[in-house]
């Protein structure tokens, strides 16, 4: 039976779309994981709350393996999502270990020596390894061999990663009651699906160790994919769909049982939850035209999602246009265009427990 969460969305049904988005954002995910994990102690515990289809799970798993190991805990209310996230996270670890072993094969003339005699050489090896995380995470996400030219540098950089899973609704229980104390709690585009967002953040904070970090992806600007004038229907379709999405989001929050408004920004919410050294950073997602196959698939699924989520708010004229744009047999099919693209950001808000 399909599992619906507080937002009444069938997330298991959306797995293919989530996987497509993870593939598109693999490089960005790897960059974010590297930045966050670099600020943690050795062998940290990382908890991925609302792990979804595992895009960030794979990035964290690969980064932990690269940095000597640690524990990754996946938390989600939907068992089908946990299955997928666990699979891609384990694949990312295996890929990182395979690459590291290949680079330290004594019969490989290009192998990186185990004995790096200087701090500079160690740093170079680490940077090479980190640069490969995007490839490893992407390969794990789509279930194929790692395509990178340069492999992960140094088997000493690859550690054991314990991957655990917890099926739970974090709106119904404090996270501290579900997982071991964490060095990092990560929640991407999850908190806004909880009835009381501020209470949800407070619950996530309970799982942090002293001086542990909470990091959220929320409040990022909308992603743009289409030219303003598509040559069919009224120009500005994408902007109207983004307005429809805002109306749908407002209705989702309003109709959610026990919904509580949060009339302030995410940085204030983290401060109210008792965190200090609160800040944020963003990563640009810039995949210009002409598109490759990954971008084409993402744009088609993204536009279809925008249209379906707020279907009752879409005009009949725009419905007719969308039907043609999303029909592979129609001459106006989006997948045939060479001018679609992806331009967006992912904004991470973070703070530290005292």
Q: What is the CATH number of the domain that holds 74?
A: 3.40.50.150
Q: Which residues contact 308 (CB under 8 A, 6 or more apart)?
A: none
Whether 245 is covered by a domain: the verdict is no
Is residue 7 a contact partner of residue 192, using CB atoms and an 8 Å limit? Answer: no
- Is residue 303 assigned to a domain? no
- Whether 226 maps to a domain, the answer reads no
**What is residue 107's predicted lDDT score, i.e. its pLDDT?**
57
pLDDT at res. 136: 45
213 with 183: CB under 8 angstroms? yes
Residue 183 included in any domain: yes
* Residue 272 pLDDT: 98
The Cβ-side half-sphere exposure at 182, using a 13 Å CA radius, reads: 30
User: d(Cα 225, Cα 189) in Å, to the nearest integer?
Assistant: 20
- Separation in Å, CA 346 to CA 29, 32, 281, 282: 9, 9, 8, 5
Whether 320 is covered by a domain: the verdict is no
The contacts of residue 94 (CB under 8 Å, 6+ apart) are none
Residue 126: predicted pLDDT: 41
Q: Is residue 89 part of a domain?
A: yes
| Residue among 192, 171, 223, 215 nearest 33 (CA) | 215
Specify whether the CB–CB gap between 46 and 235 falls below 8 A: no
The C-alpha atoms of residue 231 and residue 182 are separated, in whole angstroms, by 52
Q: Are the beta carbons of 338 and 215 closer than 8 angstroms? A: no
> Are the C-beta atoms of 223 and 343 separated by less than 8 Å?
yes
pLDDT tens per residue across all 354 residues of the chain? 444 455 567 878 888 889 889 999 999 999 999 999 999 999 999 999 999 999 999 999 999 999 999 999 999 999 999 999 999 999 999 999 888 777 655 555 445 443 333 334 334 334 444 444 444 444 444 433 333 333 333 333 447 999 999 999 888 888 999 999 999 999 999 999 999 999 999 999 999 999 999 999 998 999 999 999 999 999 999 999 999 999 999 999 999 999 999 999 999 999 999 999 999 999 999 999 999 999 999 999 999 999 988 888 999 999 999 999 999 999 999 999 999 999 999 999 999 999
- Longest Cα pair distance anywhere in the chain, in angstroms? 68
In a domain, 187, yes or no: yes
* Structural domains of the chain, count: 1
Q: What does pTM read for this prediction?
A: 0.82
Joined together, the tokens standing for residue 268 give 């204030």
Q: What angle do CA 21, 299, 303 make, to 5 degrees?
A: 105
On whether the CB atoms of residues 100 and 130 are closer than 8 A, the answer is no
Residue 315 sits at the vertex; the CA angle it makes with 313 and 321, to the nearest 5 degrees, is 125
**79 lies in a domain?**
yes
Token duo for residue 14: 């959306």
Q: Which residue range(s) make up the domain with 142?
A: 12-220+265-284+344-352
Q: Which residues contact 278 (CB under 8 A, 6 or more apart)?
A: 267, 270, 271, 349, 350, 351
């Amino acid at each position: 039976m399909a599992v619906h969460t507080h937002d009444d969305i069938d997330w298991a049904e959306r797995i293919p779309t989530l996987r497509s988005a993870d593939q598109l954002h693999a490089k960005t995910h790897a960059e974010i994981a590297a930045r966050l994990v670099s600020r943690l102690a050795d062998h940290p515990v990382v908890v991925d709350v609302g792990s979804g289809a595992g895009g960030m799970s794979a990035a964290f798993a690969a980064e932990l393996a690269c940095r000597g190991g640690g524990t990754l805990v996946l938390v989600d209310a939907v068992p089908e999502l946990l299955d997928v996230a666990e699979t891609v996270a384990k694949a990312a670890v295996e890929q990182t270990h395979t690459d590291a072993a290949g680079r330290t094969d004594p019969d490989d003339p290009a192998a990186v020596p185990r004995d790096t005699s200087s701090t500079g050489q160690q740093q170079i090896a680490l940077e090479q390894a980190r640069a490969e995380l995007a490839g490893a995470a992407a390969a794990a996400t789509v279930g194929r061999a790692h395509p990178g030219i340069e492999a992960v540098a140094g088997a000493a950089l690859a550690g054991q990663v314990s991957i655990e899973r917890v099926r739970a609704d974090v709106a119904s229980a404090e996270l501290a009651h579900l997982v071991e104390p964490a060095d990092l709690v990560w929640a991407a585009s999850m908190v806004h699906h909880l009835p009381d967002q501020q209470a949800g953040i407070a619950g996530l904070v309970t799982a942090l160790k002293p001086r542990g970090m909470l990091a959220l992806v929320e409040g990022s600007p909308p992603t743009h994919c289409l030219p303003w004038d598509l040559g069919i229907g009224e120009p500005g379709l994408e902007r109207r769909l983004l307005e429809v999405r805002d109306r749908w989001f407002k209705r989702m929050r309003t109709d959610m049982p026990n919904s509580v408004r949060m009339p302030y920004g995410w940085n204030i919410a983290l401060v109210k939850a008792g965190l200090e050294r609160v800040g944020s950073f963003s990563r640009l997602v810039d995949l210009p035209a002409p598109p490759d196959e990954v971008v084409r698939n993402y744009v088609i699924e993204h536009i279809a999602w925008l249209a379906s989520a707020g279907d009752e708010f879409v005009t009949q004229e725009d419905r007719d246009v969308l039907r043609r744009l999303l029909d592979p047999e129609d001459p106006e099919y989006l997948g045939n265009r060479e001018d679609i693209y992806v331009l967006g950001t992912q904004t991470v808000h973070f703070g530290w427990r005292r």
